[in-house]
Amino acid sequence: MTTLSLSHFLLTSAIIFVIGLIGFVTRRNMIVMFLCTELMFQAAAIAMIAFGHYHGDVSGQVFVIFILTVAAAEAALALGLVVLLFRRRATLSAEAWSELGEA
């Protein structure tokens, strides 16, 4: 364990991604679910930077910058949506929004 190799970074990325995934699937609170999606985003960003560094290519970092901007904009939108949804049902549980199902 002297140097950090690519696989360390990828493993970290995978762990963070899976944590986000499990959080998204198991939690009902919409804000927490949203945070979990952000977590998965950042896991992907870590993988991008790791690959970029490994190949000596900056496009990975450029990508991440883009991801962060888009994520910021999207966070504003998503939180706005969550506020709207909360106003309608007075709850943050995702289970309150299941009319699409037939049953």
Partner 1 sequence: MIDGAGFPVAVEASGPSWAALILWLPAISTVLCGLCAAFKVRNKLAAWITVALLGGSFVLTASLFAGYEQPVTIHVLDWIGITWGDTSFVANFAFYIDSLTLLWMLFVTGLGTLIALYASEYMEQDVGGGYSRFFAGISIFLFAMTALVMGDNLLMLYLGWEGVGFASYWLIGYYYKKPSAVAAAKKAFIVNRIGDLGLALGIYLIWQTFGTVQYAELFTELQAGSYTEIAGGWTVQAIPFLLMLAAFGKSAQLPLYVWLPDAMEGPTPVSALIHAATMVTAGVYLLCRMFPLMALNELALPVVAWVGGLTALLAATIAMAQYDIKRIFAYSTISQLGYMFLGVGLLTTSGAAYHVFTHAFFKAVLFLTAGVVMHGMAGQLDLRKVSGLRKLPGWRITSYTMLYACMCLAGVPIVTNGFWSKDAIMAEAFAAHGPGFGALAIIALITALLTAYYTFRVWFRVCAGPVHYEPGDELHGESTGRFQPHAPRLIINAVLVAITVGAVVSIFCADWVLGMVGDSTAAGGIPGEHHVAEGASVWSDPHAWMPWVASVIGLVGIAIAWYFHLANRKAADKFKQVLQGNVLTAWLPKALENKWYVDELYHATIRAPLWLLGRILNLFDRYVLDMVFVDGIARLPRMLGRGFQPLANGVLQSYAVSMIGGVALVAVLVFVMPELMAMLSGLMGGGR
Residues lying near partner 1 in the complex (CB under 8 A)? 21, 24-26, 28, 33, 94-95, 97-103
> Minimum distance between the CB of residue 8 and partner 1, rounded to whole angstroms?
21
Rounded to whole angstroms, the maximal C-alpha distance in the chain is 57
When the beta carbons of 69 and 93 are compared against partner 1, the nearer one is: 93
**Please, which residue, 56 or 95, has the CB nearer to partner 1?**
95
- Tell me the closest approach of the beta carbon of residue 4 to partner 1, in angstroms: 25
Q: How far is the CB of 34 from partner 1 (least distance, A)?
A: 11
Sign of the Cα pseudo-torsion (16, 19, 21, 23, in order):
negative
Structure tokens at 48: 């991008």
The residue (of 24 and 63) whose beta carbon lies closer to partner 1 is 24
Pick the closer one to partner 1 by CB: 38 or 61.
Answer: 38
Nearest distance in Å: CB 100, partner 1: 5
